[in-house]
């Protein structure tokens, strides 16, 4: 029997204003009914403080490795905590691509998250070209070695495996392939960090109600990191329920 934390995490990306707090409230109401699952919403920074009090866990989408200083437009772990976050995503492929964040940057961000008291949700995943070239496992092992700090524990770190080619495309790997990659990710985590095989490993990439049950039933999948289907309660609630 697994004791790994099961997490339904939504990544709202650059979406959402105060008008969408009604969706947060509706999602949180379901989350409260499914106490064996952590329901987490990684909101735009502008919404985190305003989403407090609904009973859902809150997260940021990135943070700067420094605690404060001359970093225009950035946000620190302490600021996220101050706003009410307990988690933060680091290393999302959109950050790796759009902002040139390296494994070393992500490793430093994860350590900064821990220092602030946040749980880091560290994203890894191969591109379509890497997938087609059969390089998936090599890429993931490299990202684990480079971006997961020593000292990662189930209390401070969650891993999200997100094939880049599955994010926002409606495409997913076949279900058995997701299981086999997650098993390899878990083994690589165990080889890299003492106890690493006990970390929660989420799958991300075009998760929706129609595929969530099959994906979440897999032995080495502990939940999902969900983009598009987390924005509306009507879409995200069935995903949370699929994990419960
Ligand atoms: C994501 O952004 O992490 C993601 C998985 O997006 P989507 O669910 O829309 O593919």
Residue 108 confidence (pLDDT): 98
Distance 181 CA to ligand 1 centre (A): 18
Is residue 168 a known part of a binding site?
yes
Catalytically annotated residue among 23, 64, 92, 94: 92
pTM > 0.95: yes
| Tens-digit pLDDT profile for residues 120-168 | 999 999 999 999 999 999 999 999 999 999 999 999 999 999 999 999 9
Residue 3 confidence (pLDDT): 81
- Residue 144, both tokens: 């684990």
- Domains of the chain by start residue, with CATH: 6-69+80-243 (3.20.20.70)
DSSP string, 70-114: S-TT---HHHHHHHT-SEEEE--HHHHHHS---HHHHHHHHHHHH
* Closest-CA residue to 201 (of 177, 175, 227, 222): 222
* Closest-CA residue to 229 (of 220, 238, 221): 238
Q: Is the pLDDT of residue 47 over 60?
A: yes
Taking only Cα atoms into account, the Rg of the chain, rounded to an integer number of angstroms, comes to: 16
Of ligand 1's listed atoms, the one at least distance from the Cα of 167 is 10
Distance 166 CA to ligand 1 centre (A): 8
Task: Please confirm, yes or no, whether 192 is among the known catalytic residues.
Answer: no
Residue 117 DSSP class: T
pLDDT band at 34 (very low <50, low <70, confident <90, very high): confident
In a 10 Å sphere around its CB, with 0-12 CB exposed, 13-18 middle and 19+ buried, how is residue 202 labelled? buried
Q: Is the pLDDT of residue 1 over 80?
A: no
């Amino acid at each position: 029997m697994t004791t790994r934390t099961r997490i339904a995490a939504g990544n709202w990306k650059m979406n959402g204003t105060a008008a969408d707090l009604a969706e947060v409230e509706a999602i949180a109401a379901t989350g409260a009914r499914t106490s064996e699952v952590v329901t987490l919403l990684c909101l735009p920074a502008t919404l985190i403080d305003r989403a407090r009090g609904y009973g859902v866990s809150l997260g940021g989408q990135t943070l700067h490795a420094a605690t404060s200083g001359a970093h225009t437009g950035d946000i620190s772990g302490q600021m996220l905590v101050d706003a009410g976050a307990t988690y933060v995503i680091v290393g999302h492929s959109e950050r790796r691509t759009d902002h040139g964040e390296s494994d070393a940057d992500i490793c430093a961000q994860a350590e900064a998250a821990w220092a602030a008291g946040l749980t880091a949700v560290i994203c890894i995943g191969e591109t379509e070209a890497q997938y087609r070239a059969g390089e998936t496992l090599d890429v993931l092992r490299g990202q684990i070695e480079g971006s997961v700090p020593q000292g990662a524990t189930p209390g401070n770190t969650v891993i999200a495996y997100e094939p880049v080619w599955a994010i926002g495309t409606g495409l997913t790997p076949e279900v058995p392939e997701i299981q086999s990659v997650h098993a390899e990710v878990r083994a690589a985590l165990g080889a890299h960090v003492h106890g690493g095989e006990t970390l929660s490993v989420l799958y991300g990439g075009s998760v929706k109600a129609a595929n969530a049950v099959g994906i979440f039933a897999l032995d080495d999948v502990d939940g999902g990191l969900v983009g598009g289907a987390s924005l509306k309660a009507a879409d995200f609630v069935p995903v949370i329920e699929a994990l419960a």
